[in-house]
């Protein structure tokens, strides 16, 4: 069965960077995209970015361009999301999700989420 | 910029029908998707491509589309359906950005 497992919670200071990992199993990693979605406390869902592991295509939310990088390691079926120059409003649960479709996609399997707290 | 708009809340009694709507100017050109999210849990896909239901999702969940409006209908609502529901689509202008509606809190009275 498809599984998407993320790393544990992180606490960072403003200006620092965070890298969240997402290990997948139960399907062929290069046959689907991987997206990252975040959710600030008490707020709605916000898309962060997407990548196609088979060809390296990437797309990021415009508001995060320049601060976010999404990568994959096809040898371990793992995806990574790095967010730099963290601010307090980056505090959120970050989800990775298997994504079906290109260039338009949806999210059929989600990780459990990783809480990233940015605080001085 | 393009947005998806949902009503903040819907309340129904058990056994009734709940309808949750999502408005967006680009919805006639793009599919919509619906996710259910319960407190402390990751979202779950309940409808894809406007009206398709993933395996494992109960038949009481259905989706429809008409012009700039898509609707998630839950027939015979059960207490376990109380959750936040989000619509999702995409910007068709060339950025391919994913858009989410603001979410609708479904309360089962």
- Verify whether the Cβ–Cβ distance B45 to A108 is below 8 Å: yes
In this model, does residue B1 exceed pLDDT 80? no
**Cα angle vertex B14, ends B10, B19, to 5°?**
35
> Which pLDDT score, from 0 to 100, does residue B11 have?
97
In this model, does residue A67 exceed pLDDT 80? yes
**Residue A6 — pLDDT band, cuts 50, 70, 90?**
very high
> Which pLDDT score, from 0 to 100, does residue A99 have?
96
pLDDT digits (tens, 9 = 90+) for A83-106: 999 999 999 999 999 999 888 889
- Verify whether the Cβ–Cβ distance A61 to B97 is below 8 Å: yes
Residue of A nearest to B49 (CA): A106
Residues listed for chain A = 120
> Which pLDDT score, from 0 to 100, does residue B70 have?
98
Q: Please check whether residue B86 is in contact with residue B43, taking contact to mean a CB–CB distance below 8 angstroms.
A: yes
In chain B, residues with a C-beta closer than 8 Å to the C-beta of A59 are 95-97
The DSSP line for B44-64 is EEEEBTTTB--TTS-TTEEEE
Give the side-chain half-sphere CA count within 13 A for B87. Answer: 32
pLDDT digits (tens, 9 = 90+) for A75-85: 999 999 999 99
The average pLDDT across B45-68 equals: 97
What are the backbone dihedrals phi and psi of residue A31, each rounded to the nearest 5 degrees, phi first?
-90, -5
Phi-psi region of A26 (alpha: psi -120 to 50; beta: other; left: phi over 0): left
In chain A, residues with a C-beta closer than 8 Å to the C-beta of B86 are 44-45
In chain B, residues with a C-beta closer than 8 Å to the C-beta of A103 are 96
Element (H, E) at A117: strand A114-118
**Residue B25 — pLDDT band, cuts 50, 70, 90?**
very high
Q: Where are the beta strands (DSSP E) in B2-91?
A: 5-6, 9-12, 18-23, 33-37, 44-47, 61-66, 69-74, 83-90
3-state SS assignment for residue A96 = strand
Q: Which residues contact B65 (CB under 8 A, 6 or more apart)?
A: B27, B32, B50, B51, B71
In this model, does residue A118 exceed pLDDT 90? yes
Q: How far apart are CA B65 and CA A79, in angstroms?
A: 34
3-state SS assignment for residue A114 = strand
Mean pLDDT of chain B: 95
The average pLDDT across A5-18 equals: 97
């Amino acid at each position: 069965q498809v599984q998407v497992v993320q790393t544990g919670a992180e606490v960072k200071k403003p200006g620092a960077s965070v890298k969240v990992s997402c290990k997948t199993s139960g399907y062929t990693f290069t046959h689907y995209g991987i997206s990252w979605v975040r959710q600030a406390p008490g707020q709605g869902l916000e898309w962060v970015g997407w990548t196609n592991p088979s060809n390296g295509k990437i797309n990021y939310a415009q508001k995060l361009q320049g601060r976010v990088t999404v990568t994959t390691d096809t040898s371990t079926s793992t995806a990574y999301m790095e967010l730099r120059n963290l601010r307090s409003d980056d505090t959120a649960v970050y989800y990775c999700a298997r994504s079906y479709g290109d260039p338009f996609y949806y999210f059929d399997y989600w990780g459990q989420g990783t809480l990233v707290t940015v605080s001085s | 910029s393009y947005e998806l708009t949902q009503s903040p809340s819907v309340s129904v009694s058990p056994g009734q029908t709940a309808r949750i709507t999502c408005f967006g100017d680009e919805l006639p050109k793009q599919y919509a998707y619906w996710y259910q999210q319960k407190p402390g849990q990751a979202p779950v896909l309940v409808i894809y491509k406007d009206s398709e239901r993933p395996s494992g999702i109960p038949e009481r969940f259905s989706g429809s589309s008409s012009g700039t409006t898509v609707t998630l209908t839950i027939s015979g609502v059960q207490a376990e359906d109380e959750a936040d529901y989000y619509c999702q689509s995409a910007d068709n202008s060339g950025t391919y950005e994913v858009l989410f509606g603001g979410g609708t809190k479904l309360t089962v009275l």
